Amino acid sequence: MVKEKQWENHRTKVISCIVFGVYLLLLTWLVLFKFAFAIEEIPHLRQLNLIPFHYETSVKPIMHIKEVVYNILVFVPAGVYFTAFFGERKWWEGIGASFLISLSFEIIQWIFSIGVSDITDLLGNTLGGVLGTLLFVLFGKILSKKRMRVINVVGAAVEIVGIALLSALFVANK
């Protein structure tokens, strides 16, 4: 069986692991810790919603739509990188890994009472993983050999801007 050539070289793979690792740390900080710097800042809330797209009526519908869109967008990189690591031929594993990470976050939120465990979040996050997988395949058709370089540059740039913005907010609110 011919092994699919996934990586241009070892350096690209190492950079991919670093960029993906930083992404996972930021994602965990966002989802579980709500960008809090202290345990006391994390909201202690335990709710479970098993009805897809069911929301309280006290919040405007546009906020619900935004939340779903944000959940999709924040998981696109998971689909991209999981598909890169598992291989394009095993695209379903990339989607499955995105689903499992999201499910793990929802379970951890429930166990530790640090947020709302919501089926809508799980669906949106998984859809983000699907879109990431599709983007990875599309980039392969367009960029061919430089796919991972471009993905890593974009990923690192977004992370650097995000960290800079979070740092500015932290300093401004101190």
Higher pLDDT residue, 155 or 4? 155
**Beta-sheet strands, E only, within 13-119:** 45-49, 114-118
Taking 70 as the threshold, does the pLDDT of residue 23 lie above it? Answer: yes
Taking 60 as the threshold, does the pLDDT of residue 80 lie above it? Answer: yes
Taking 90 as the threshold, does the pLDDT of residue 76 lie above it? Answer: yes
Sequence ranges of the domains in the chain: 10-52+59-172
Q: Distance of CA 43 to CAs 10, 11, 17, 113, 173, Å?
A: 42, 40, 31, 8, 18
So what's the pLDDT on residue 59?
Answer: 66
Q: Measured between alpha carbons, how far is 51 from 148 in angstroms, rounded to an integer?
A: 38
Q: Mind listing the pLDDT tens digit for each residue in 132-147?
A: 999 999 999 998 788 9
Q: Measured between alpha carbons, how far is 22 from 168 in angstroms, rounded to an integer?
A: 18
Mean pLDDT of 50-71: 80
Taking 90 as the threshold, does the pLDDT of residue 3 lie above it? Answer: no
Q: Measured between alpha carbons, how far is 70 from 127 in angstroms, rounded to an integer?
A: 11
